[in-house]
Amino acid sequence: MSDNQQNCKTIPTITAFEHSPDRGRGLARDMPVRWAFEEVGQAYDVHLVSFRAMKQTAHLALQPFGQIPTYQHEELTLCESGAIVLHIAQQHSGLLPPDTNARARAIMWMFSAVSTMEPVIVQREVAILAESDRNWHQQRLPLVEERIDSRLAQLSNRLGKADWLDGDFSAGDLLMIQVLRRLKSSSLLDNYPNLAAYVARGEDRPAFKRAFDAQLTVFNNLSAEL
């Protein structure tokens, strides 16, 4: 913990799955928030919630859609991982460039990640989790994957040979890499070596590793108890 943090009176608390459905692969939405905290060197507490508790009144007061993560610090309660990462990035240095225009572009990539890339990627998961028992699932899956591939091709063209989407690593890269990580259990990134390398570059950051280990510890501790 840095001197800066020791001088702070309180630290933020986030919520995360008590038992993450991704089995500790760092795909739940507490992961980008943990990663952002680690990038800026802000300590945080974690309150674990069960699936049952997530749908009850106390949690719905924090998160109207019954999801994780939430963020609580002093008088402020937030949800939406994109908004929480943006808040952290605005409160600390390290995740948004100081130049006003570059800052607006980094925030643009945050929106691209959660509203242009993620929805098509999540549709594949919805199909597999919620529709694989339907007799049309195998016919439909290629349509879903074509939509993902089309977006990946466009993102790959834009990234080109660059390390990050726009200058130095930013909160835009953090969210985009986190979204692309959802595809690691598929072969969809295989056609785009520059995107696969981009993801690997993100995962190689010490802050990513600390965040990943922290969420994996939660999963492993739970598994040891069961």
Q: What are the residues binding a second copy (CB under 8 A)?
A: 60, 64-67, 75-80, 82-84, 86-87, 101, 104-105, 107-108, 110-112, 114-116, 118-119, 122-123, 126, 130-131, 134-136, 139-140, 143, 147, 151, 154-155, 157-158
- Least distance CB 221 / a second copy (angstroms): 29
CB atoms within 10 A of CB 183: 22
Tell me whether residue 90 or residue 217 sits nearer to a second copy (CB atom).
90
User: Of 106, 103, 100, 86, whose CA–CA distance to 40 is shortest?
Assistant: 86
Tell me whether residue 22 or residue 80 sits nearer to a second copy (CB atom).
80
Contact 117, 155 (CB under 8 A): yes
- Least distance CB 192 / a second copy (angstroms): 14
Residue with tokens 């808040």: 87
142 upstream amide cis, omega within 30 of 0: no
Tell me whether residue 70 or residue 215 sits nearer to a second copy (CB atom).
70
- Least distance CB 167 / a second copy (angstroms): 14
Tell me whether residue 66 or residue 167 sits nearer to a second copy (CB atom).
66
Helices then strands, counting H and E runs in the chain, come out as 11, 4
Tell me whether residue 131 or residue 221 sits nearer to a second copy (CB atom).
131
Tell me whether residue 23 or residue 140 sits nearer to a second copy (CB atom).
140
What three-state secondary structure class fits 102?
helix
- Least distance CB 83 / a second copy (angstroms): 4
- Least distance CB 226 / a second copy (angstroms): 29
- Least distance CB 157 / a second copy (angstroms): 7
Phi, psi angles (nearest 5°) of residue 194:
-70, -30
Contact 27, 182 (CB under 8 A): yes
Contact 45, 13 (CB under 8 A): yes
| Distance from C-alpha of 34 to C-alpha of 220, rounded to nearest angstrom | 17
What three-state secondary structure class fits 76?
strand
What three-state secondary structure class fits 16?
strand
